[in-house]
A and B are shown apart, each in its own frame.
Chain A
Amino acid sequence: DGGITQSPKYLFRKEGQNVTLSCEQNLNHDAMYWYRQDPGQGLRLIYYSQIVNDFQKGDIAEGYSVSREKKESFPLTVTSAQKNPTAFYLCASSLGLAVYNEQFFGPGTRLTVL
Protein backbone atom coordinates (compact mmCIF):
# COMPACT_ATOMS: atom_id res chain seq x y z
CA ASP A 1 0.00 0.00 0.00
CA GLY A 2 1.25 3.45 -0.88
CA GLY A 3 1.23 6.02 1.84
CA ILE A 4 2.95 8.23 4.34
CA THR A 5 4.10 6.95 7.69
CA GLN A 6 5.14 8.97 10.71
CA SER A 7 6.73 7.78 13.90
CA PRO A 8 6.38 7.79 16.75
CA LYS A 9 2.66 8.45 17.18
CA TYR A 10 3.24 10.03 20.59
CA LEU A 11 6.46 11.59 21.84
CA PHE A 12 7.32 13.08 25.19
CA ARG A 13 10.29 15.36 25.55
CA LYS A 14 11.97 16.94 28.50
CA GLU A 15 12.86 20.60 28.27
CA GLY A 16 16.29 21.11 26.72
CA GLN A 17 16.21 17.92 24.65
CA ASN A 18 16.28 17.66 20.89
CA VAL A 19 13.92 15.12 19.34
CA THR A 20 13.58 13.82 15.80
CA LEU A 21 10.27 12.96 14.16
CA SER A 22 10.30 10.49 11.30
CA CYS A 23 8.39 10.82 8.02
CA GLU A 24 8.58 8.26 5.21
CA GLN A 25 6.58 8.04 1.99
CA ASN A 26 6.40 5.41 -0.75
CA LEU A 27 4.24 7.43 -3.12
CA ASN A 28 7.22 8.45 -5.24
CA HIS A 29 6.40 12.07 -4.48
CA ASP A 30 9.08 14.68 -5.02
CA ALA A 31 7.83 17.28 -2.54
CA MET A 32 7.50 16.85 1.20
CA TYR A 33 6.32 19.21 3.93
CA TRP A 34 6.16 19.59 7.67
CA TYR A 35 3.26 21.36 9.36
CA ARG A 36 2.41 22.08 12.93
CA GLN A 37 -1.16 22.17 14.26
CA ASP A 38 -2.14 23.87 17.51
CA PRO A 39 -5.66 23.96 18.98
CA GLY A 40 -7.74 26.75 17.45
CA GLN A 41 -5.12 27.52 14.80
CA GLY A 42 -4.74 26.47 11.22
CA LEU A 43 -1.90 24.27 10.11
CA ARG A 44 1.34 26.22 9.78
CA LEU A 45 4.20 25.34 7.45
CA ILE A 46 7.55 24.63 9.10
CA TYR A 47 9.76 23.39 6.23
CA TYR A 48 9.32 21.99 2.75
CA SER A 49 11.52 20.17 0.27
CA GLN A 50 11.18 19.75 -3.46
CA ILE A 51 14.13 17.49 -4.14
CA VAL A 52 16.78 15.50 -2.35
CA ASN A 53 19.38 17.60 -0.53
CA ASP A 54 17.29 20.74 -0.88
CA PHE A 55 14.80 22.26 1.55
CA GLN A 56 13.33 25.65 2.34
CA LYS A 57 12.03 27.38 5.45
CA GLY A 58 8.31 27.83 5.85
CA ASP A 59 6.52 30.33 8.04
CA ILE A 60 7.67 29.06 11.44
CA ALA A 61 11.08 27.40 10.93
CA GLU A 62 12.79 28.82 14.02
CA GLY A 63 13.79 26.07 16.43
CA TYR A 64 13.41 23.31 13.83
CA SER A 65 15.76 21.58 11.41
CA VAL A 66 15.26 19.06 8.60
CA SER A 67 17.23 16.92 6.19
CA ARG A 68 16.38 15.29 2.86
CA GLU A 69 19.01 12.69 2.13
CA LYS A 70 16.58 10.32 0.43
CA LYS A 71 13.51 10.98 -1.68
CA GLU A 72 11.39 8.87 0.62
CA SER A 73 12.42 10.42 3.92
CA PHE A 74 12.09 13.89 5.45
CA PRO A 75 12.84 13.84 9.21
CA LEU A 76 12.15 16.85 11.40
CA THR A 77 14.25 17.71 14.46
CA VAL A 78 12.66 19.84 17.14
CA THR A 79 15.52 21.53 18.93
CA SER A 80 15.72 22.97 22.41
CA ALA A 81 15.55 26.42 20.79
CA GLN A 82 11.88 25.87 19.96
CA LYS A 83 10.09 27.77 22.72
CA ASN A 84 6.72 26.06 22.61
CA PRO A 85 7.12 22.67 20.91
CA THR A 86 4.01 20.95 22.27
CA ALA A 87 1.82 20.42 19.20
CA PHE A 88 0.54 17.95 16.62
CA TYR A 89 3.14 17.57 13.84
CA LEU A 90 2.00 16.58 10.38
CA CYS A 91 4.10 15.47 7.44
CA ALA A 92 2.69 15.77 3.94
CA SER A 93 3.80 15.03 0.41
CA SER A 94 2.81 15.94 -3.13
CA LEU A 95 3.93 14.97 -6.62
CA GLY A 96 5.76 18.26 -6.96
CA LEU A 97 5.61 21.91 -6.11
CA ALA A 98 3.10 22.89 -8.82
CA VAL A 99 0.13 24.71 -7.30
CA TYR A 100 -2.30 22.06 -8.59
CA ASN A 101 -0.54 19.21 -6.87
CA GLU A 102 -2.60 17.80 -4.04
CA GLN A 103 -0.96 17.35 -0.66
CA PHE A 104 -1.56 14.19 1.34
CA PHE A 105 -0.90 13.87 5.04
CA GLY A 106 0.61 11.22 7.24
CA PRO A 107 -1.04 10.19 10.53
CA GLY A 108 0.89 12.72 12.61
CA THR A 109 3.06 12.78 15.71
CA ARG A 110 1.79 14.33 18.91
CA LEU A 111 4.69 15.91 20.81
CA THR A 112 4.38 16.88 24.45
CA VAL A 113 7.06 18.70 26.41
CA LEU A 114 7.14 17.67 30.05
Chain B
Amino acid sequence: QKEVEQNSGPLSVPEGAIASLNCTYSDRVSQSFFWYRQYSGKSPELIMSIYSNGDKEDGRFTAQLNKASQYVSLLIRDSQPSDSATYLCAVNMGLTGGGNKLTFGTGTQLKVEL
Protein backbone atom coordinates (compact mmCIF):
# COMPACT_ATOMS: atom_id res chain seq x y z
CA GLN B 1 0.00 0.00 0.00
CA LYS B 2 1.34 3.40 -0.98
CA GLU B 3 2.06 5.70 1.94
CA VAL B 4 1.33 8.96 0.13
CA GLU B 5 -1.24 8.95 -2.65
CA GLN B 6 -1.96 11.52 -5.31
CA ASN B 7 -4.03 11.42 -8.46
CA SER B 8 -1.53 11.42 -11.32
CA GLY B 9 -3.73 13.56 -13.54
CA PRO B 10 -3.40 15.38 -15.76
CA LEU B 11 -5.62 17.93 -14.10
CA SER B 12 -6.64 20.53 -16.65
CA VAL B 13 -7.98 23.92 -15.59
CA PRO B 14 -8.61 27.09 -17.58
CA GLU B 15 -6.46 30.14 -16.98
CA GLY B 16 -7.77 32.16 -14.07
CA ALA B 17 -9.55 29.23 -12.40
CA ILE B 18 -8.78 27.57 -9.08
CA ALA B 19 -6.75 24.38 -9.27
CA SER B 20 -7.28 21.91 -6.43
CA LEU B 21 -4.66 19.24 -5.80
CA ASN B 22 -5.21 16.51 -3.26
CA CYS B 23 -3.07 14.12 -1.27
CA THR B 24 -3.81 11.40 1.28
CA TYR B 25 -1.33 9.70 3.57
CA SER B 26 -1.37 6.54 5.59
CA ASP B 27 0.69 7.29 8.72
CA ARG B 28 -1.37 8.96 11.46
CA VAL B 29 1.71 10.19 13.33
CA SER B 30 2.92 12.31 10.41
CA GLN B 31 3.77 15.79 11.63
CA SER B 32 4.74 17.95 8.69
CA PHE B 33 3.56 18.26 5.12
CA PHE B 34 5.06 19.89 2.08
CA TRP B 35 4.12 20.75 -1.47
CA TYR B 36 6.77 20.89 -4.17
CA ARG B 37 6.43 22.05 -7.75
CA GLN B 38 8.47 20.26 -10.39
CA TYR B 39 8.76 21.45 -13.96
CA SER B 40 9.59 18.85 -16.58
CA GLY B 41 13.28 17.94 -16.44
CA LYS B 42 13.92 20.10 -13.36
CA SER B 43 14.28 19.45 -9.65
CA PRO B 44 11.47 19.94 -7.11
CA GLU B 45 10.95 23.44 -5.71
CA LEU B 46 9.35 23.89 -2.29
CA ILE B 47 6.23 26.06 -2.47
CA MET B 48 4.34 25.37 0.76
CA SER B 49 4.75 23.72 4.13
CA ILE B 50 2.00 23.11 6.69
CA TYR B 51 2.11 21.61 10.16
CA SER B 52 -1.23 22.33 11.84
CA ASN B 53 -4.82 21.56 10.93
CA GLY B 54 -6.50 24.26 8.88
CA ASP B 55 -5.48 26.55 6.08
CA LYS B 56 -2.21 28.29 5.34
CA GLU B 57 -2.10 30.94 2.65
CA ASP B 58 0.88 32.28 0.72
CA GLY B 59 0.05 34.50 -2.23
CA ARG B 60 -2.02 32.52 -4.72
CA PHE B 61 -1.36 29.26 -2.88
CA THR B 62 -3.36 27.81 0.02
CA ALA B 63 -2.45 24.57 1.74
CA GLN B 64 -5.13 22.77 3.72
CA LEU B 65 -4.49 20.07 6.29
CA ASN B 66 -6.92 17.70 7.99
CA LYS B 67 -5.03 15.25 10.17
CA ALA B 68 -8.17 13.39 11.27
CA SER B 69 -8.92 12.54 7.65
CA GLN B 70 -5.21 12.18 6.77
CA TYR B 71 -5.68 14.58 3.93
CA VAL B 72 -3.70 17.55 2.65
CA SER B 73 -4.53 19.72 -0.33
CA LEU B 74 -3.13 22.61 -2.32
CA LEU B 75 -5.28 25.28 -3.92
CA ILE B 76 -3.89 27.54 -6.61
CA ARG B 77 -6.00 30.62 -7.25
CA ASP B 78 -5.97 32.56 -10.52
CA SER B 79 -4.09 29.72 -12.24
CA GLN B 80 -1.56 30.79 -14.85
CA PRO B 81 0.03 28.83 -17.70
CA SER B 82 3.31 29.09 -15.77
CA ASP B 83 1.70 26.98 -13.02
CA SER B 84 1.66 24.02 -15.42
CA ALA B 85 3.92 21.49 -13.72
CA THR B 86 3.85 18.37 -11.59
CA TYR B 87 3.01 18.97 -7.94
CA LEU B 88 4.54 16.61 -5.41
CA CYS B 89 3.05 16.04 -1.98
CA ALA B 90 5.61 15.10 0.68
CA VAL B 91 4.87 13.91 4.18
CA ASN B 92 7.36 13.76 7.01
CA MET B 93 6.83 10.47 8.75
CA GLY B 94 10.00 10.76 10.80
CA LEU B 95 12.82 8.31 11.21
CA THR B 96 13.38 5.68 13.87
CA GLY B 97 14.88 7.56 16.80
CA GLY B 98 13.79 10.89 15.36
CA GLY B 99 14.57 12.56 12.09
CA ASN B 100 13.48 14.16 8.90
CA LYS B 101 12.40 11.59 6.33
CA LEU B 102 10.11 12.76 3.56
CA THR B 103 7.85 10.28 1.80
CA PHE B 104 6.76 11.56 -1.58
CA GLY B 105 3.68 10.92 -3.64
CA THR B 106 4.10 10.29 -7.35
CA GLY B 107 2.78 13.76 -8.18
CA THR B 108 -0.17 15.32 -9.95
CA GLN B 109 0.38 16.88 -13.35
CA LEU B 110 -1.39 20.22 -13.67
CA LYS B 111 -2.12 21.81 -17.03
CA VAL B 112 -3.40 25.38 -17.15
CA GLU B 113 -5.00 26.07 -20.50
CA LEU B 114 -5.36 29.42 -22.23
Contact = CB atoms under 8 A, between A and B. Distances in A.
B44 A42 contact: no
B45 A105 contact: yes
B95 interface: yes
B32 A40 contact: no
A107 B51 CA distance: 26
Counting chain B residues whose Cβ lies within 8 A of the other chain, the interface size class is: 20 to 34
Contacts of A103: 34, 46, 90, 100, 102
B44 A90 contact: yes
A94 B100 contact: yes
A94 B46 CA distance: 12
B39 to A, nearest CB: 11
Contacts, number: 65
Contact of B106 (A40, A56, A102): A40
Interface string A39-70: 01111110010100000101000000000000
Interface string B72-114: 0000000000000000101010110011111111110000000
A105 B100 contact: no
Given A31-B100, A106-B43, 16 more contacts: A41-B106, A42-B104, A42-B105, A44-B104, A45-B101, A48-B100, A48-B101, A58-B101, A99-B32, A100-B31, A100-B32, A102-B46, A103-B102, A105-B36, A105-B45, A107-B43
